[in-house]
Amino acid sequence: MMVETLPAVRGKLTADAPLAKLVWFKSGGPADWLFEPADLDDLRAFLAALDPAVPVMALGLGSNMIVRDGGVPGVVVRLGKAFAQVTAADAVTLECGGGASGILVSSTARDAGIGGLEFLRSIPGTVGGFVRMNGGAYGSEVKDILVECDVVLRSGECVTLPLDALGYSYRHSQLPEGAIVVRALFRGHPAEPDAIQAEMDRIAASREASQPLRSKTGGSTFKNPDGHKAWQLVDAAGCRGMQMGGAQVSEKHTNFLINTGDATSADIEGLGEEVRRRVQESQGVQLEWEIQRVGRP
């Protein structure tokens, strides 16, 4: 895809852009193109003018993702500062840009005395990713707080979707392929900032104690199957600490894979597939990936 065939932009458009440094696993190949739009109008105009055959994928903080070693075809869109604002719309509602982090959303909610959004403190991602994946932790998920969201469709059209249009299930939505979440409205409830901070501290301490936060990891690897906890199944299959190349099943939390230093994405994904095979063989349960795997092998 030559640059002559791409629409002009006001933001930043980079060819053959390395993605490894932008994702938590620190592995994987480049994007054909990385687009960091200047603002909403820039994003809409670019997508409207882009050949409809070119695939488009949004990238947030890259926490819940394996970028395969062959890189990502088409255009990867990364929302920057223009999409990272969070403001209180009223006493219980926050208006959040699609590029805002969970930590910014939860701390803004605390300062505004809005409770119920504390769990976002513990999810390493952006609003766009939370909305797409129905992100959740500590007993809450996005479907519990979302009022509506604005998405830019692959065509460049911007539409507002209410909660019930997203077809939420566990870690899944029915957002159209190539749609990019640019804004979300989250509703909580009135609460004392001190109580909100205490809950955020409790969540942070719990994560620190149970998860390998200092490692190059991708967060929860597999969805919890009905009636089971994924980490217990992985442990029971004898996979704790198992390695493949530079990838390892975490000793601290067996539903986390870690890059011990020089793992390729093929190492990480291959290890995950071997874990799935062993769990199926030993316990008859089919683990489903929670981590997105994107790009060319």
Residue 5 in this model has a pLDDT that exceeds 90: no
Residues 6+ apart with CB under 8 A from 119: 106, 136, 137, 138, 139, 140, 141, 203
156 in the same domain as 124: yes
User: How would you list the strands of the sheet with 56-59, edge to edge?
Assistant: 12-18, 30-36, 72-78, 56-59
**Which of 42, 64, 81 is where one domain is finished?**
81
279-289 average pLDDT score:
97
Residue 88's pLDDT is: 96
Classify 60 as helix, strand or coil.
Answer: coil
Residues 119 and 206 in one domain: yes
Q: How many domains does the chain have?
A: 3
Whether residue 89 sits in one domain with residue 75: no
266/151 Cα distance (integer angstroms): 32
**Average per-residue pLDDT in the chain?**
95
Q: Is 73 in the same domain as 89? A: no
Does residue 111 fall inside a structural domain?
Answer: yes
The per-residue pLDDT for range 215-245, each reduced to its tens digit, is 899 989 999 999 999 999 999 999 999 999 9
DSSP state of 61: S
pLDDT at 1 over 70: no
Six-digit token string for 296 = 């060319």
Q: Looking at residues 151-173, what average pLDDT do you find? A: 95
Of the residues 81, 102, 118, which one is the last residue of a structural domain?
Answer: 81
pLDDT of residue 74: 96
Instruction: Please count the residues of the chain.
Output: 297
Same domain as 125, residue 189: yes
The residues, any chain, with a CB within 8 Å of residue 264's CB and separated by 6 or more, are 27, 69, 245, 246
Instruction: Identify which of 246, 239, 226 has the alpha carbon closest to the alpha carbon of residue 275.
Output: 239
Residues of the domain holding 31: 3-81
Q: Is 293 part of any domain?
A: no
| Alpha-carbon span 170 to 283, nearest angstrom | 22
Residues designated as active site = 171, 220, 290
Least reliable range by pLDDT among 20-29, 131-140, 205-214, 228-237: 205-214
Mean pLDDT, to the nearest integer, of 269-274? Answer: 98
CATH code (residue 258): 3.90.78.10
Q: Give the C-alpha separation, 118 to 138, whole Å.
A: 9
CATH number at 66 reads 3.30.43.10
